[in-house]
Structure 1
Amino acid sequence: MTNDLGGTLKREYEGGATIADLAHQHGLTYYRTRTLLLATGVTLRQEGPRTPTAPLGMVNAYEGGATIHEVAATFGCSYGVTRRMLLAANVTLRPKGQRL
């Protein structure tokens, strides 16, 4: 039964379900669900909130010479979120304080 359950958990997890959702649905603990998923070879997704995609124009603003602080203010984001969005968009960041 564990193999069948592991396969079911794997399919549901790869379909987008969270570990917490699966544990609740199948009457398992979070830890047991995670252990079963790992035993099936699943690569676990990142925990916690994901960095949102950079809004249209953010990358161009930075690559056009604006600082991260300026881009953050323009798009209404914090410095940290703006930096993470730029990195997620594969932007090479300039050294601090350097403009184009």
Structure 2
Amino acid sequence: MDIRRRPRRQPAPPELVAAYRAGASLDRIAADTSRSYRDVRTALIDAGVILRSPKAVVAPCPPGMISSYEHGTFIRQLAAKYGNSYNVTRTMLLNAGVTLRPRGAVPYMIGER
């Protein structure tokens, strides 16, 4: 009976694990090490690394969005104006460090308080 065994995989090099834990993406590590995405992913999993979930990249706020929001424009209005969804617009503002108004709050003009 001829039983073929899979060759044992080499353990993930410590550099792979360190790069991933430092925040590098699987794509970036694969490109930097001339390995395939699948090879990098498999090596990290075999090394016991828990993989991060992929994150969607959100573009920075377009010019004028922050000042419009700070002058009372609602997020829904900004989303319609800039062609984004409510959630993407909200995320853009949060990533830019804007403190959001409470939900349902009546907008006010800066300096009117």
Shared fold per TM-score greater than 0.5: yes
Cα pair 2:26 2:41 within 8 Å, conserved: no
Q: Partners in 2 of 1:30 and 1:84 — Cα distance?
A: 29
**TM-aligned CA distance change 1:48 to 1:24, over 3 Å:** farther
Using the TM superposition, give the Cα deviation of residue 84 of structure 1 relative to its aligned residue in structure 2, in angstroms: 0.5
| Aligned mate of 2:43, from 32, 41, 44 | 32
Which aligned pairs between 1:81-100 and structure 2 lie closer than 5 A?
A: 81-98=88-105, 99-100=107-108
Which aligned pairs between 1:21-100 and structure 2 lie closer than 5 A?
A: 22=30, 25=35, 28=39, 30-33=41-44, 36=47, 47-98=54-105, 99-100=107-108
Structure 1 residue ranges, 4+ long, deviating more than 4 angstroms after superposition: 10-17, 34-38
Question: Structure 2 unaligned runs (5+)?
Answer: 1-9, 109-113
Identity among equivalent pairs (%): 32
Question: Structure 1 unaligned runs (5+)?
Answer: 39-43
Cα pair 2:69 2:75 within 8 Å, conserved: yes
**TM-aligned CA distance change 1:17 to 1:29, over 3 Å:** closer
Q: Partners in 1 of 2:18 and 2:62 — Cα distance?
A: 32
Aligned length in residues: 94
Cα pair 2:11 2:43 within 8 Å, conserved: no
Q: Partners in 1 of 2:23 and 2:86 — Cα distance?
A: 33
Per residue, is there more helix in 1 or in 2?
1
Q: Over residues 41-81 of structure 1, what are the superposed CA-to-partner deviations in whole Å (9 max), with x where a residue is unaligned?
A: xxx87723122211111111100110001111111110000
Q: Partners in 2 of 1:81 and 1:18 — Cα distance?
A: 24
